[in-house]
Structure 1
Amino acid sequence: MATFETGDFSLRAIADSGQVFTWRELGRGRADARYLVASGTRRCVVSQRGPKVVVLTPSGGQPSPSSLSYWRRYLALDVDYGRLLDSLPLTDEQRAASAGIRVLRQDWWDVSVAFTISQNSNIPRIQHAVFSLMDTGGGRIPAPRQLSRLLRDEGFAAGLRLGYRLPYLRALAGRATGWRPRCLSEKDVPLAEQMAELEETPGVGPKVASCICLYGLGYLEAVPRDTWIKKAERAYGIEWDPTFGGVQQQYVFAWIRGAGATLG
């Protein structure tokens, strides 16, 4: 059994943080949090009871060393989050709003699809569309070429209930069939340049591009700014950390959602 013992980590807080849509909860109401997790072509089952985090294969077996290394990095278990959070300008109330959140290192394509779907939507609708795609893709988000084929099936596409987002998802799949973000093949691509490249895709604006950069491409300074975050900036004069602003944003967002803030 692959077990990690760690602090400043909560599977449930991460699952509820709005950053990931490829997790399926197994047995809600259990004493331990337990999820079937998909990332790219990989899947595992992750559970937590207290400080102990267990990673297994979907069939309940022991992950290979390479898989275990992947999931450790994916879950940011290789980061001292206590020290990281101590370095951020967070109030005690903000930090406690959803203790245990970590920014996952997700597959960039998973994030791109999910956040293209998520625009001006709600969690149940986003989850319906993402799970429908994963069910068709054998438990994973279909690769770009496969997704393009699926979306040409008008019946299947209509069942996703995407509305005006459907052309955006088609455009994303079409572009990604022969392209991937520049930072995956070049070192030290500045955030602004990577954002601009992503925004060349129809339907990918600054919010979606920043989500892709933060959750899928490792730019921890990227700050997704929706209406609530912009209101918090104005109401509280929030300034974002230049290195870990995206992590800071997760805690501020959790604080806002928990009614810890009064916004005009």
Structure 2
Amino acid sequence: MEYKGYKIEQKDNKVIVEKVEDFNPVHVFDCGQCFRWIRQPDGSYTGVACGRALNVKYRDGVLELSNTGIEDFKSIWFDYFDLGRDYSHIKEKVMKDEIMREAVKFGSGIRLLKQNIWETLISFIISANNRIPRIMKTVDEISRLYGCEIEMDGEKYYAFPSAKQLSHATLEELEQTGAGFRCKYIMNAAKMVNEGKINLEDVCSMDTVEARDFLMRFQGVGPKVADCTLLYSGTKYDVFPTDVWVKRVMEELYFKSEASFGEIQEFARDYFGKYAGFAQQYLFYYARENRIGAK
């Protein structure tokens, strides 16, 4: 059957999607935007998202999603993998110079996932001053302790806990997950959301500056974590998450001298406009994999 430009078919517990372009699982899952997808020996990726466990394979324009069905593809995975967006158009808009042409070529299969904003917020609170393997381990352990159990092919997986589920955590338990000094921030966020003091869905109706300031009401959330939360939840695409390392990358590639965070944000806003988030992801992945800006 046809669905929004794709040919889709269900075989047992798999959904086969044909005519998928601009998609590379390595680029999508290893570009730093998510922490729950693990590469398998056959090159596929298995992960947990939206309360489901899923295996993803891709080859020659064919996307194969295992442990799901047509209805879940339409209601969940189509949006989650941002399949409704023309990434060839995005690439044209961000390839404004030779640097971006190289970055886009290198990460040509990146798609920005539309992740749950609550999970994204906590994941990027955990990411502060942290390395990806440790972030992944902590997020997985939090899910194991507080999330609902899911089964796929006889294996147990765990959904990321809701704010209500996580609000039952104790500081001592959270410390066992490796979250370190971030434990108190996680507990504070769970309490604020569970008690209705902050409704994360409200950011959708705000402009970007308002939304960033709104998220910074949470303890442990600065501009970078707020921007990551907005970008990787598919809420705002005109943000340009900037930490110390991205700052060095921009100084090396564009400014050729020291630049303030404010100058980098202003440059990205003026230069890339509403596509700033996409540009940042291509640049981030390209620079990280090629050790640009590394010291």
TM-score between the two structures when normalised by the length of structure 2: 0.79
User: Partner of 2:284: helix, strand, or coil?
Assistant: helix
For residue 287 of structure 2, the aligned residue among 256, 260, 263 is: 256
For residue 47 of structure 1, the aligned residue among 40, 44, 57 is: 57
For residue 86 of structure 1, the aligned residue among 92, 95, 102 is: 92
Q: Determine if contact 1:55/1:68 at 8 Å carries over to the other structure.
A: no
Equivalent residue for 2:135? Answer: 126
Equivalent residue for 1:63? Answer: 69
> Structure 1 residues 200 and 95, CA, compared in 2 at 3 Å: closer, same or farther?
same
Q: 1:118 corresponds to which letter in structure 2?
A: S
For residue 113 of structure 1, the aligned residue among 114, 119, 122 is: 122
> Structure 1 residues 51 and 182, CA, compared in 2 at 3 Å: closer, same or farther?
closer
- 4+ long deviations beyond 4 Å: none
Following TM superposition, by how much is the alpha carbon of 1:221 offset from its aligned partner in structure 2, in angstroms?
0.8
Q: 1:10 corresponds to which letter in structure 2?
A: N
Q: Determine if contact 2:107/2:282 at 8 Å carries over to the other structure.
A: yes
Say which one has the larger Rg: 2
User: Partner of 2:188: helix, strand, or coil?
Assistant: helix
Q: 1:255 corresponds to which letter in structure 2?
A: Y
User: Partner of 1:242: helix, strand, or coil?
Assistant: helix
Task: Quote the RMSD (CA, aligned, Å).
Answer: 2.1
Q: Determine if contact 1:105/1:217 at 8 Å carries over to the other structure.
A: yes
Following TM superposition, by how much is the alpha carbon of 1:164 offset from its aligned partner in structure 2, in angstroms?
1.0
User: Partner of 1:202: helix, strand, or coil?
Assistant: coil
> Structure 1 residues 46 and 262, CA, compared in 2 at 3 Å: closer, same or farther?
closer
Size of the aligned set, in residue pairs, is 252
Equivalent residue for 2:237? Answer: 220
1:1-264 correspondence runs (5 A): 1=10, 2-4=15-17, 5-25=19-39, 27-28=40-41, 30=42, 33-57=43-67, 62-88=68-94, 89=96, 91-136=100-145, 137=147, 138=149, 139-149=158-168, 151-152=169-170, 154=172, 156-177=173-194, 178=196, 179-183=198-202, 187=205, 189-235=206-252, 236-237=254-255, 239-240=267-268, 241-259=272-290, 261=292
Q: 2:50 corresponds to which letter in structure 1?
A: G
Q: Determine if contact 1:129/1:161 at 8 Å carries over to the other structure.
A: yes
Following TM superposition, by how much is the alpha carbon of 1:230 offset from its aligned partner in structure 2, in angstroms?
1.3
Following TM superposition, by how much is the alpha carbon of 1:16 offset from its aligned partner in structure 2, in angstroms?
0.8
In 2, Cα distance between the equivalents of 1:119 and 1:260? 20
In 2, Cα distance between the equivalents of 1:217 and 1:80? 15
Q: Determine if contact 2:248/2:293 at 8 Å carries over to the other structure.
A: no
Q: 1:76 corresponds to which letter in structure 2?
A: D
User: Partner of 1:243: helix, strand, or coil?
Assistant: helix
TM-score between the two structures when normalised by the length of structure 1: 0.87
User: Partner of 1:213: helix, strand, or coil?
Assistant: helix
Q: Determine if contact 1:117/1:126 at 8 Å carries over to the other structure.
A: yes
User: Partner of 1:233: helix, strand, or coil?
Assistant: helix
> Structure 1 residues 42 and 229, CA, compared in 2 at 3 Å: closer, same or farther?
same
Following TM superposition, by how much is the alpha carbon of 1:43 offset from its aligned partner in structure 2, in angstroms?
3.5
> Structure 1 residues 183 and 192, CA, compared in 2 at 3 Å: closer, same or farther?
same
Q: Determine if contact 1:40/1:107 at 8 Å carries over to the other structure.
A: yes
Q: Determine if contact 1:40/1:110 at 8 Å carries over to the other structure.
A: no
Identify unmatched segments of 5+ residues in structure 2: 1-9, 150-157, 256-263
Following TM superposition, by how much is the alpha carbon of 1:124 offset from its aligned partner in structure 2, in angstroms?
1.6
In 1, Cα distance between the equivalents of 2:103 and 2:91? 11
Q: Determine if contact 2:245/2:293 at 8 Å carries over to the other structure.
A: no
> Structure 1 residues 54 and 202, CA, compared in 2 at 3 Å: closer, same or farther?
same
Give 1 or 2: higher strand fraction. 2
Q: Determine if contact 2:93/2:275 at 8 Å carries over to the other structure.
A: no
> Structure 1 residues 192 and 182, CA, compared in 2 at 3 Å: closer, same or farther?
farther
Identify unmatched segments of 5+ residues in structure 1: none
Q: 1:37 corresponds to which letter in structure 2?
A: G
